[in-house]
Copies of this chain bind each other. A is one copy, B any other.
Amino acid sequence: MGAKTSREPLSRERTLAAAIALADTAGLKALTMRRLAADLGVEAMSLYYHLPGKEGLLDGLVETVINEINVEVKLAETTEDWRTGLRRRFLAAREIMLRHPWAPGLLSSRKTIPFGVYAYYDAIVGTLISGGFSHQVAHRALHAFGSLALGFAQEVFSPASAGGDTDVDAAEEDLSAMAEALPHLTAMMAAEAHDAADPTLGWCDSQVEFEFTIDLLLDGIARARG
């Protein structure tokens, strides 16, 4: 956050690293050319020497994140069956995404998709094919996985994605006010809070739900393999 007083000239990598750090700590909205430059101890216009503008910066961000995932995935490559291989892959992607909460929203709002994303999905198809799937079922599996393959789901209930203050208090206030108008949701929350054996987890632990959904999808396509 403070101005790094470094003598070495700016570079694309150093700029991207600072941008990611800024987005991680202050959210995507805080990532402006002027503030990023200030963090780097430089004027805003200097950035244009290393990057082709704001859009190019954002492209660089998603490229960096998907590369992080691909590296992580490649490191752990072994001789697993298709199912545990995909499962491990999705969970690895999720770990990266949890480190960069702004990444899912940015990735899905981008209109050009970096090569690394295609490479990532290509490896998935390869895994499916060698697991005995037809191209057609592999195609449908890809769509069924959707963003879960990249480690994130559209969490409509509590979107911390969009960067900015996570307005938890307001959400809970709303929720308690809504309670009597929403009988089924209220009952569900009460029931879940009750038989939650593990006290360290919230009433809605998304890691458990994430893995449940993955297994449900993997079960489903295993059956569709035919």
Classify the secondary structure of A's interface with B: helix
Q: Which of B113, B115, B117, B216 contacts A144 (CB 8 A)?
A: B216
Q: How far, in whole Å, are A191 and B135 apart by their CA atoms in the complex?
A: 6
Which stretch in A30-38, A72-80, A151-159 binds the other chain?
Answer: A151-159
CB-CB nearest in chain B for A136: B192
Please, what's the 1-or-0 string for A137-148, where 1 marks a CB less than 8 Å from any CB in chain B? 011100110110
A99 within 8 A of B: no
Q: From residue 207 to 226 of chain A, which have CB atoms closer than 8 A to chain B?
A: 209-210, 212-213, 216-217, 219-221, 223-224
A161 within 8 A of B: yes
Q: How far, in whole Å, are A115 and B174 apart by their CA atoms in the complex?
A: 8
How many A residues touch B, CB cutoff 8 Å?
Answer: 71
Q: B122 touching A183 by the CB < 8 A rule?
A: yes
Q: Which residues of B contact A216 (CB under 8 A)?
A: 144, 217, 220-221, 224
